[in-house]
Amino acid sequence: MSLKILLEHAARRANRYLDDLQTRGVAPTSDALRRLGELDGDMRSAPIDASTVLALLDDVGSPATVASTGPRYFGFVIGGSLPVGLAASWLASAWDQNAGLVATSPVAAAIEEIALKWSLDVLRLPATTGGAFVTGATMANFTGLAAARHAVLAAAGWDVEQDGLTGAPPVTVVVGAEAHASLLKALALLGLGRNTVVTVPTDAQGRMRADHLPALAPGQPAIVCLQAGNVNTGAFDPAREVCARAHAADAWVHVDGAFGLWAAAAPARAHLVDGVADADSWATDAHKWLNVPYDSGLALVREPAALRAAMAQSAAYYISGAQREPMEYTPETSRRARGVEIWAVLRSLGRTGLADLIERTCALATRFADGLRGAGYEILNDVVLNQVLVSFGTDERTRQVIAAVQRDGTCWCGGTRWHGRDAMRISVSNWATTEDDVDQSIAAIARVAASLPSQSAIGMSSSAR
């Protein structure tokens, strides 16, 4: 089969998959998961036709996907793919560019610079900020914190890239009690450790309590890590106050804003990111709220030289000219041209389209919370952004409802622990979600919850056994 026909088949199958998202259950059926064995078998010795391979992948693989790109997936903080981002991703796959160097892909290098400029604009960060296109917020945290590690140790007269951490001046790292696990992982990868951090207590919404910041001594290397958008509540750490106090002691402030940073793009939510622009580095995802296809994250560093010092490498054949060399800013050397989808989505949405995407999903989260509260369930957080926490009574009851909602398939919501209680966690992050999707999901959740044996009946049956 010709390449042309093969790609047309792929497009036809992809279109059918996307159409089916409206009607299929969100979670794959157990039958679909069982059939995954059909992808297995001994390694074949001889080649077979590409169209046969594509057909098997679609027939067996597509039903076994989680419909997380569809409009009624509210688990984790995921987001879907805007049509223009998906189409741009296909084209970029055809280009198969190595985005590491200007020499290997002038187009990828140019597009990344533009995508970076526009991202800084909509995120309301300084235009001279440096950036790296990475796989997601975990690597963006790693990259931003690597720049932080470089800068605070360089200020203390230590070259951490050349001399490592053994014998280096100690670095005080401050995090909120609600820091995302990936931020702690990034600290671990950087040799800064998970257990050596100073943890600042948080308030009822998970915000760092600025009044509990430890005293930071000027001249001693220190990094303060803030969060813009708590994965449970959507709450923001008090960035303005923390930045002012940290900077008074020459500390570096890094912000994990995996999804929350995008609140800056919606005028009615921008107050939430007050002071965030005062930080020194930021990590965010494009594959969550910006709705570009996986994988895509951005590490942003106010002083590009600190990022470059942490990430650059040299070899005789990595000639660098006057232009920004992408790989001098990223942990990776060879990588895909991730800037392409970000460029396409920002070009397509414009300022008002992006503001609408953010505002609309926040409003849908409020609609979710109001609907579930109206149905008699308890909302555990202040719904300020796109995140909603729901309790259905006891922990056991809440867990049962979550499992039953996932089995029902109308929508998909995950679970979490919040301040000692089990909760259903709802994140509205997908461009395609409508009011009708939310209403259908509320109805399904209420129906599923009502169909479970009542709490007292559960208590009686388990005590009778």
Ligand X SMILES: *Cc1c(COP(=O)(O)O)cnc(C)c1O
Q: Which residues from 218-247 bind ligand X, rule CB under 6 A?
A: 229, 231
Q: Which of 21, 77, 82, 208 binds ligand X (CB under 6 A)?
A: 77
Q: Where does this chain touch ligand X (CB under 6 A) — which range of 56-64, 101-109, 135-143, 336-344?
A: 135-143
Cβ 257 to ligand X shortest distance, Å: 7
Work out whether 261 is an interface residue with ligand X (CB under 6 A): no
Q: What is the DSSP string of 102-170?
A: TTT-HHHHHHHHHHHHHHHHHTT--TT-EEEEESSHHHHHHHHHHHHHHHHHHHTT--HHHH-STTPPP
Q: Where does this chain touch ligand X (CB under 6 A) — which range of 11-19, 49-57, 251-259, 366-374?
A: 251-259
Work out whether 258 is an interface residue with ligand X (CB under 6 A): yes
- Each residue 273-292 as x (binds ligand X by CB under 6 A) or -, in order, gives ------------x-------
CB 420 within 8 A of CB 394: no
Find the length of the chain. Answer: 465
Q: Which of 133, 142, 236, 259 binds ligand X (CB under 6 A)?
A: 259
Cβ 58 to ligand X shortest distance, Å: 27
Q: Give the bridge partners for 427, in sequence order.
A: 387
Q: Which residues from 157-196 bind ligand X, rule CB under 6 A?
A: 180, 182
Work out whether 385 is an interface residue with ligand X (CB under 6 A): no
Q: Which of 178, 256, 303, 328 binds ligand X (CB under 6 A)?
A: 256
Cβ 294 to ligand X shortest distance, Å: 9
Q: Where are the alpha helices (DSSP H) in 278-329?
A: 304-311
Task: Order the strands of the 387-391 sheet from edge to edge.
Answer: 378-379, 387-391, 421-427, 414-418
As a whole number of angstroms, the distance between CA 263 and CA 450 comes to: 35
Size of the site for ligand X (CB under 6 A): 13
Which lies closer to ligand X via its Cβ, residue 285 or residue 328?
A: 285
Q: How is residue 60 written in tokens? A: 């067996």
What CA dihedral angle connects 249, 255, 256 and 259, to 10 degrees?
Answer: 160
HSE, side-chain direction, 13 A CA sphere, residue 399: 6
Q: Where does this chain touch ligand X (CB under 6 A) — which range of 256-264, 265-273, 322-330, 371-379?
A: 256-264
**Interaction site with ligand X (CB under 6 A):** 77, 136-138, 180, 182, 229, 231, 256, 258-259, 285, 297
